[in-house]
Structure 1
Amino acid sequence: MYSFDVYDTLITRRTYTPEGIFMLMSYIMFSHPEEYDIPLVYAVDFAEIRKNAERIARLNSQKEIGIDDIYINIKKTHNLDDRLIHRIEELELQCELENSVYIAENIRIVREMAEKGEHIVLISDMYMPKDFYQKLFEKVCPDLNKFPLYISCEEGVSKSSGLLYELISKREKVVYSDWIHFGDNNVSDVNIPRLLGIHAKLYKRKSDNEARRRIESAYDDVHPLVRQFLFGAVEMMNAYSSEAYRVGFSAIGIILYSYIKWVIEYSKSNGIRKLGFIARDGYILRQIADRIIAENGYDISTVYLYGSRKAWRVKDKDNSQHVREYVFQEFDNVLDDVALVDTQGTGISIHYLSEICNHRFTVLYYMLRENPMDKNIDAFTYTTQYGESVIEAICRAPHGATSGYERKDRKICPILEDFILSAVKKSDMCEFFHGINDFVREMIVLERIIPGGIPIRKAADGMFRYCCDSADRQMADVLGNMPHDTDNENDTKSYAPKLDKCDIRRIEYERTNQAIEDVYDGEDLNMSYKRLSIQERGYVEQCKKEYFSQQIDRDKNCKKIIIYGYGKYGQELYHRIFGCRNANVICIVDINSERYSGDLVDVSAPDVINKMEYDYIVISLLDTKKCDEIKKLLLLSGVQKEKIIYRDKCIELLS
């Protein structure tokens, strides 16, 4: 005979722990006071009340308890009436039912054994009644209702005492030596049955530890209920799947889902009925939007709009006419209820599009690289966070860039550049998108279960910051391998390629005043470094130390430089100036100087500027708007205007 434990062996919850169900109940009662006439303090603290009630009920009982015993204890302890107790108990049954899903790998084993005609029984130590299990099995896997079910609270004995196994042995007329049991609890499902002579097998679901550490870091200050569902979703993720799938599911899915939810909510509130997702970043974004729109029945249609800088920044009459005809064709000749969707940019390309189409487009960006006030667009951004190269790497597409348009059979069609992907990269990209879409599907289910939806914006922002600042090695490998050629024509370039020792030494020691692009064939050096082993990272630090410990024979009248900003651009500028004879960095300042306390180079707070003599302060930030703000601040503090320059001007002066 074969027996299977039910919960956490054949069936699991969407929440990370059973307590997540009680948190959900608390949230529902707090959100719907008209349905649950319960004192506010009880609604808020219900998760603790429920846990304590079960503990006390077990202490006060000589036999296995059922759910009724738990709620009798709540009624007595908190003086609640029968009607309300019954309503809350029904809510728990409902929440358990809605949030239970089957564990595919073990259900498959049960089905295979059933097909062979094996003797199968199910066992549960849970406090739920038999009719609950019948409904549960009917919902998640009707096949399970075919097998005998033994429930500890209905039989009055438990697995942990060994008495439930004894009872089953007698009823099923099976000796222990002919019995194999599967379960997840090391004591009640393994040690106890083995002591009786039953062949017991421990089921431990394989978890992705990297994914768990990732979400623990990214979701540190997220609401406990949201954490329960997000952690639960990752625990349900197939740990045997590819790295690309797991990163897509556990990290990238929430970032893009939250963004597209914002896009759709904006559209609903502002009369937008058509969304144009601009290629290539819009490839996966449109898939997410289509799924959300279809599941909710929203009156919004979507278009995948092929376009690019090359295709839209045109001035000749023929090409402009093709662009115009293509856009009107895709939106059925009506642009008044249209919004365009793009991950990031400057707004220049869409400004050209607006001029060609004689229409001021609304654009819903994930982020913007510069102020669009001087452009013929209405731009709105989901976030003001940094990380435009990361969001672009996340949103790749398996096709080439749009180089223009041509007329075919009375229709305007895009002309795409050749795009050659290796079989490995094509497979990884497909798996990556699969993981994202599976996460989106899970979130849509949760939106139906939780009143008012699941507030994930904070978690999504936390995960994006994690991607930008703290990406783990698994994530760095997946994102680093994404194709990122400037023209997107082939797979010879990756976003953050894997480096060997020769690459590291060339970048950190042999390079002097060269630009990083001259020695590094990628977009994000820090992401490439996150792909390294501990030993390889040690070699990076060794090369940096050797480089900065050199004695440079500088010119007598070399320029004394203060670098303002020690992020990606400030660090590269310092490396380049260090190798120059005609300049010397006397100080580096950053408003977040404490962030670099462990670095090889001293970074100070900006107030030290007032105590120093210098030729130039070089503002070295990516965001030109922030550069302008810092310049104004320095002028207010008394710095002479001619002594404030930007990074590009500094490189020009030193070349």
Structure 2
Amino acid sequence: MSDEIRLYSYDVFDTLLTRKVARPTGIFTLMQERLKNDPLFLDFPASLKTNFFNYRVDSEYRLRCLSRKYNFGFDVNLDSIYEDIRRTLSLTLSQTILLKDLEIAIESENIVPIKANIDKIKALVASGKKVVLISDMYLPFSVVKSFLARLDPLLNTLTLYLSSEVGFMKATKQMYKYVQDKEKVSFKEWEHVGDNKHADYNNALSLGIKAKLYNFMKLESYEERLLNSHPKSFFTQLSVGCSRNLRLANTGANSNMYDLGASLGGPLFYPFILWLLEQTKRRGITRLYFIARDGYILKKMMDMAIESKGLKIDTKYIYGSRKAWRLPALSIDNTKLYEQFVESYLRNLKNLHAGFNMIKSEFISILPKGLKKYYKGLSLKKLQDLKDFLLSNASLLARLVEVSADKRKLVIRYLREELDLSDDNFAFIDLDGAGLTQNALACLLQDFFSKPIKCFYFASTPGIFTMINTEHIYFHAFRRGDSGILLELLTRAPHGQTLGYRLKDGVCIPILENIKVNKDGLEDYIKGVLDYTHIMLENKAYKSFVSQDILESYVRFLSTDIDKKHAEILGDIKHSYMGKETSFAPKFSFYSALKYLLSQKADTENVLYSKIRSNVFIRKMLSLRSMPIRVLKKLKRSAFKT
């Protein structure tokens, strides 16, 4: 047939191979970091080492402007780019060569194959088809060929048409005409595959070539925002590039959960792990105790980092929780802990009775008349009255201590059995909090360990408490009260919360809440987190760098800028805070939306997530909350009349 495909061509960069960095210019961030720290470049101009990223990007842009105006749009090459940089900074010839060689070396260190497309080429060649490679690229021909040879020896045997070699570009269509002349093939007998919509798809299609657009893995919206805010951060470039490449290679059944781990969980907690290693070294800590359940994934990440660095630090997973430690830690003579206990549970009036280990009716019976409907909400004055009542009620504290006495003995026995407190070179690790649970832990340990204990946190929360025989050390500070709950969704464990302890065969073991855990999804999520950690640790030249840029940007995404895809994934996760396990943010039904609209009470832990997950009608319905209060009250009265 006259339209039979006689020639197949493939783009190279972001079609057959990509880079470890998020954007091509990310290579220049790695170069700048090397220039600043490698003694080989000690005599280079300070302005170059500080601003290399800008000089490199500007030189290429300037040369492309000149080429479009005076050189028929021919592509630029690496030699011309570095000649421009040499003139700009008055570099010596040897310095210029060294700088250009550094770019080639770092490019070579950071190539990653795109296996799916390489396999397609191998299948075409195996079936006797003619395949060539076409690339708009400033790197030298020999360098690109060496990359291809490393990816697969077969690729190195294919004809390569490179813009830096022949001058013509796909972006101006001239490369296609050049290849047509060399290969003696008509456009309609030719199929081309590439990732650039303009150069690889539209331009090829306009000439009659059968063009196929390869949908290279896109960045997530929060990754784009991060890169736009920190384009010159090598750590950001490596982190986002790592996440993107893991998503690209992932073909698992639970891809959403794996991608969540590789793209959000891993990047958020990896800098914390590096910071912990830094702090353990500075403080002489040799034992780390990760507290359930938030410590489950963090411990796995830490174990990988310890092995990668060849350190001698022991880690252990400790079963504990607010529920298991706070009440048993109370004592008659420790009024400071009791004050924090009361203040903490007053933040959740709906479940206040549960915090005091009572059924609702029993708790109501001990309250003064004006405070019995606390669960419906209280004015600031009433809230203070309730606080004063609880703090002044000595019999209530005595009752709590009495009913928790046996539990206290079991907690202390469990801690004695599990912890090595032979010296104070140990620390506990937790995700976030105000510090109450760690204060409770310290009070429990005082029965057999008198020194203050060290507690490392990923972040503090706004309602932070003063320390009681502890040293709280925070990596970050959450500005929003809900940030901690959102991060807890990303540090889940394959078991329920610790309810208490019991003896079995003479050993004290934890009693775990019996809940359903989507272990398949969780396993995929954890694999994504650990794959990210593994790859980042492989970047040995950069693996000790601690950055909080990602943390701040991604927490903002989770808190205020969440998209529908991630609201769906995170909203279905089971979560518990001082209560039973429920879906974190279910979709609003008509009736739950109406309840929220009229009573301002929502059956969700995050209204934003639930709203985003809901259908268009529900979202429009919920927008009525922006109406004046008097109008809503009128609607409420009308609704109840009917």
Quick check: TM above 0.5?
yes
**1:284 and 2:290 matched:** no
Give the conservation status (yes or no) of the 8 Å contact 1:253–1:435: yes
Greater RCO (CA < 8 Å, at least 6 residues apart): 2
After superposition, the C-alpha distances for 1:255-295 in whole angstroms (9 at most, x for unaligned) are 22232322222112111122111111112222222222222
Q: Which amino acid aligns with 1:483?
A: K
**1:362 and 2:454 matched:** yes
Aligned to 2:308: 295
Give the conservation status (yes or no) of the 8 Å contact 2:239–2:267: no
Aligned to 1:479: 570
Q: Which amino acid aligns with 2:20?
A: R
- The structural deviation recorded for 1:383 is 2.3
Question: How far apart, CA to CA, are the structure 1 residues paired with 2:100 and 2:492?
Answer: 48
Q: Quickly say closer, same or farther: Cα 1:328–1:215, change in 2 above 3 A.
A: same
Q: Quickly say closer, same or farther: Cα 1:390–1:54, change in 2 above 3 A.
A: closer
Q: Quickly say closer, same or farther: Cα 1:56–1:280, change in 2 above 3 A.
A: closer
Aligned to 1:126: 137
C-alpha RMSD of matched pairs (Å):
3.7
Structure ranking higher in helix proportion:
2
**1:500 and 2:589 matched:** yes
**1:224 and 2:232 matched:** yes
**1:456 and 2:547 matched:** yes
After superposition, the C-alpha distances for 1:36-67 in whole angstroms (9 at most, x for unaligned) are 52222233343343344445656376865542
Question: How far apart, CA to CA, are the structure 2 residues paired with 1:544 and 1:151?
Answer: 58
Give the conservation status (yes or no) of the 8 Å contact 1:480–1:527: yes
After superposition, the C-alpha distances for 1:440-489 in whole angstroms (9 at most, x for unaligned) are 3444345x354x85553133123223322333333332222221135787
3-state DSSP of counterpart to 1:414: strand
Question: How far apart, CA to CA, are the structure 1 residues paired with 2:613 and 2:279?
Answer: 38
- The structural deviation recorded for 1:389 is 2.4
Partner of residue 393 from structure 1, selected from 479, 489, 499: 489
Question: How far apart, CA to CA, are the structure 2 residues paired with 1:82 and 1:114?
Answer: 44
Question: How far apart, CA to CA, are the structure 2 residues paired with 1:292 and 1:30?
Answer: 25
Partner of residue 266 from structure 2, selected from 250, 253, 257: 253
Q: Which amino acid aligns with 1:270?
A: R
3-state DSSP of counterpart to 1:343: strand
Partner of residue 431 from structure 2, selected from 343, 349, 368: 343
Question: How far apart, CA to CA, are the structure 2 residues paired with 1:287 and 1:549?
Answer: 53
Q: Quickly say closer, same or farther: Cα 1:174–1:418, change in 2 above 3 A.
A: same
Give the conservation status (yes or no) of the 8 Å contact 1:281–1:396: yes
State the TM-score, normalizing by the size of structure 1: 0.71
3-state DSSP of counterpart to 2:509: strand
Give the conservation status (yes or no) of the 8 Å contact 2:290–2:296: yes
- The structural deviation recorded for 1:540 is 1.8
Segment of structure 1 superposing worse, 223-232 or 460-469: 223-232
Give the conservation status (yes or no) of the 8 Å contact 2:274–2:545: no
- The structural deviation recorded for 1:7 is 0.9
Give the conservation status (yes or no) of the 8 Å contact 1:403–1:416: yes
Instruction: Give the total of aligned pairs.
Output: 536
Give the conservation status (yes or no) of the 8 Å contact 1:407–1:413: yes
Give the conservation status (yes or no) of the 8 Å contact 1:396–1:483: no
Question: How far apart, CA to CA, are the structure 2 residues paired with 1:415 and 1:120?
Answer: 63
Q: Quickly say closer, same or farther: Cα 1:332–1:77, change in 2 above 3 A.
A: closer
Give the conservation status (yes or no) of the 8 Å contact 1:14–1:100: yes
Give the conservation status (yes or no) of the 8 Å contact 1:181–1:198: yes
Partner of residue 93 from structure 2, selected from 64, 75, 82: 82
Q: Quickly say closer, same or farther: Cα 1:112–1:260, change in 2 above 3 A.
A: same
Question: How far apart, CA to CA, are the structure 1 residues paired with 2:182 and 2:633?
Answer: 87
**1:238 and 2:329 matched:** no
> Counterparts in 2 of 1:242-641, with a 5 A limit?
242-312=255-325, 313-314=327-328, 322-324=410-412, 326-331=414-419, 334=422, 336-345=424-433, 346=436, 347-358=438-449, 360-368=452-460, 372-373=465-466, 375-385=468-478, 386=480, 387-408=483-504, 411-421=507-517, 425-446=518-539, 448-450=540-542, 454-486=545-577, 493-510=582-599, 516=601, 520-533=602-615, 535-543=617-625, 545=627, 548-549=630-631
Q: Quickly say closer, same or farther: Cα 1:507–1:91, change in 2 above 3 A.
A: same
Q: Quickly say closer, same or farther: Cα 1:40–1:273, change in 2 above 3 A.
A: same
After superposition, the C-alpha distances for 1:579-605 in whole angstroms (9 at most, x for unaligned) are xxxxxxxxxxxxxxxxxxxxxxxxxxx
After superposition, the C-alpha distances for 1:557-616 in whole angstroms (9 at most, x for unaligned) are xxxxxxxxxxxxxxxxxx9xxxxxxxxxxxxxxxxxxxxxxxxxxxxxxxxxxxxxxxxx
Aligned to 1:5: 11
Aligned to 1:637: none
- The structural deviation recorded for 1:90 is 0.9
> Counterparts in 2 of 1:64-83, with a 5 A limit?
65-83=76-94
Give the conservation status (yes or no) of the 8 Å contact 1:278–1:305: yes
- The structural deviation recorded for 1:69 is 3.3
- The structural deviation recorded for 1:206 is 4.7
- The structural deviation recorded for 1:231 is 4.8
Aligned to 1:639: none
3-state DSSP of counterpart to 1:413: strand
Question: How far apart, CA to CA, are the structure 1 residues paired with 2:225 and 2:203?
Answer: 38
Give the conservation status (yes or no) of the 8 Å contact 2:8–2:130: yes
Q: Which amino acid aligns with 2:193?
A: F
Q: Quickly say closer, same or farther: Cα 1:314–1:114, change in 2 above 3 A.
A: farther
Question: How far apart, CA to CA, are the structure 1 residues paired with 2:293 and 2:29?
Answer: 41
Q: Which amino acid aligns with 1:6?
A: V
3-state DSSP of counterpart to 1:344: strand
Question: How far apart, CA to CA, are the structure 2 residues paired with 1:236 and 1:48?
Answer: 26
Q: Which amino acid aligns with 2:514?
A: D
3-state DSSP of counterpart to 1:539: helix
- The structural deviation recorded for 1:153 is 3.2
Aligned to 1:39: 45
> Counterparts in 2 of 1:164-183, with a 5 A limit?
178-183=189-194
Q: Quickly say closer, same or farther: Cα 1:264–1:30, change in 2 above 3 A.
A: closer
Question: How far apart, CA to CA, are the structure 2 residues paired with 1:284 and 1:532?
Answer: 31
Aligned to 1:94: 105
Question: How far apart, CA to CA, are the structure 2 residues paired with 1:191 and 1:355?
Answer: 72
Q: Quickly say closer, same or farther: Cα 1:137–1:536, change in 2 above 3 A.
A: same
- The structural deviation recorded for 1:371 is 5.2
Q: Which amino acid aligns with 2:457?
A: Y
Question: How far apart, CA to CA, are the structure 1 residues paired with 2:321 and 2:24?
Answer: 49
State the TM-score, normalizing by the size of structure 2: 0.72
Question: How far apart, CA to CA, are the structure 1 residues paired with 2:129 and 2:424?
Answer: 65
Aligned to 1:204: 215
Q: Which amino acid aligns with 1:225?
A: S
